[in-house]
Amino acid sequence: MRIVFLGPPGSGKGTQAQRLQEELEIAHLSTGEMLRDADHAGTPLGREAARHMQAGQLVPDEVVVGVVADRLSEKDCERGCLFDGFPRTVPQAEALDKMLAERKIPLNLVLALDVPTERLVDRLLARGRMDDNRETIHERFRQYDRLTEPLLDYYRRRGILCMIDGEGTPDEVFSRIRRAVDTAIR
Ligand code: AP5
């Protein structure tokens, strides 16, 4: 099973992907986490990524695609994986298609979390991560609208997009996701 989690900043991608990973026992690939780990490790890639992340901008496609390609080659991805925060641009989606086609594995489902913007801002300000301040949040939403939202149509055309109401408690959202996954598996 290969599943992509799409959604604006704060929509619950990480929270829900973590839960689904535990249930399906497949790998969880969060590009945000991978880039933050590289930053904490002080690698050149991490330092470059941090500059973009602190400004609320996307890290260049070729950097992120390289990180995902390396991770996909690891053993635990053979059973399946959840892509959390990747792809975020049409070129990234095309690169993912290519990587999966080379491995002769399909992308089964794209779960798009839908939450009103004002709720998202409250969630992010309450969390207070390094990039959760008003100015950076505003830029992250701008990047989402401009570069990531077109992916909804990209995957809708492929017939694998499932919109999920992301409001309510994490448990409520998870039961909607579980139903969507069960339907896709059947
Ligand atoms: P990333 O780490 O992916 O951040 P994001 O997309 O902005 O998403 P968040 O982590 O803020 O939110 P989320 O949707 O995962 O929600 P979460 O579960 O955490 O990326 C960070 C940066 O890295 C990007 O800005 C970019 O620079 C770079 N990057 C990453 N991937 C990239 C890519 N592919 N290409 C280029 N650049 C890339 O929840 C948020 C908060 O809400 C938490 O506190 C949580 O506890 C709470 N919460 C969750 N669900 C609920 C609920 N149902 N009710 C109430 N609170 C909730």
Nearest Cα neighbor of 105 from 70, 78, 65 is: 78
Which tokens sit at 12?
């619950």
pLDDT at 24: 95
pLDDT at 150: 98
β-strands 81-84, 27-30 pairing: parallel
Pocket, ligand 1, Cβ cutoff 6 A:
7, 9-15, 31-32, 35, 52-53, 56-59, 64, 85-86, 88, 92, 123-124, 127, 140, 169-170, 173
pLDDT at 86: 98
Nearest Cα neighbor of 154 from 88, 103, 105 is: 88
Q: Are 139 and 56 in contact (CB under 8 A)?
A: yes
Name the DSSP class of 76: G
Q: Ligand 1, from 68, 123, 165, 175: best to mutate by most atoms within 8 Å of Cβ? A: 123
Residue showing tokens 């492929």: 158
Q: What residues of the chain score a pLDDT lower than 70?
A: none
pLDDT at 185: 82
pTM attached to this predicted model: 0.97
With pLDDT > 70 as the criterion, what percentage of the chain qualifies?
A: 100
Q: Ligand 1, from 5, 13, 37: best to mutate by most atoms within 8 Å of Cβ? A: 13
Residue whose CA is at the smallest distance from ligand 1 atom 2 = 32
